[in-house]
Structure 1
Amino acid sequence: MSGCAEQGLSNTEEKALIGAAGGAVLGQAIGGNTKSTVAGAALGGVAGALYGSQQDKQRKYYKDQYGHTYYLDSQGRAHYVD
């Protein structure tokens, strides 16, 4: 998943996928059936999307000398969004 930003997924989409996967695993572990797995995936996906959306809103965007928009991650790497 760490390469998702370079492949065009937004932070919101990436966190939704991670949340859905984690929710599905947790739902299966708790309920032990398909209904619990699907419910866990849905709840995890929504929670992940909300978290990612909040992170996107706090992210600072910059423009390079060519007019392309990018942001810096916590390690100082540039990720272009256009």
Structure 2
Amino acid sequence: MRSKKWIIALLACGGLAACGDTFGERALIGAGTGVAGAAILDGNIATGALVGAAANVAYCEKYPSRCN
């Protein structure tokens, strides 16, 4: 069961690859992925949303060519 959660969490992190075109889209997509990951891993949903949004925005700012 534990490995199943990790596999699902890694797949949820793959959702961050769908960056979005604007800052708002990037934050929303990242937040959705963070919420999904937190729900699967029985974590804090709000923290998952915040971390997911920040991670997606930061990634797309660092590597803009990979996000368009």
TM-score in terms of structure 1 length: 0.47
Residue deviations 1:23-61, cap 9 Å, x none?
0011111116xxx111111100000110121233x58xx
Pairing 1:54-73 to 2, within 5 Å after superposition:
54-56=62-64, 58=65
Q: Is there any run of 5+ residues in structure 1 with no aligned partner, and where? A: 60-72, 74-82
Q: Is there any run of 5+ residues in structure 2 with no aligned partner, and where? A: 1-17
Q: Aligned residue for 1:31?
A: 42
User: Structure 2 counterpart of 1:19, which letter?
Assistant: G
Aligned identity (percent) is 29
Aligned length: 49
Q: Aligned residue for 1:68?
A: none
TM-score in terms of structure 2 length: 0.55
Equivalent pair of 1:13/1:52 in contact (CA under 8 Å): no
Q: Aligned residue for 1:44?
A: 52
Higher strand share: 1
Q: Aligned residue for 1:62?
A: none
Higher helix share: 2
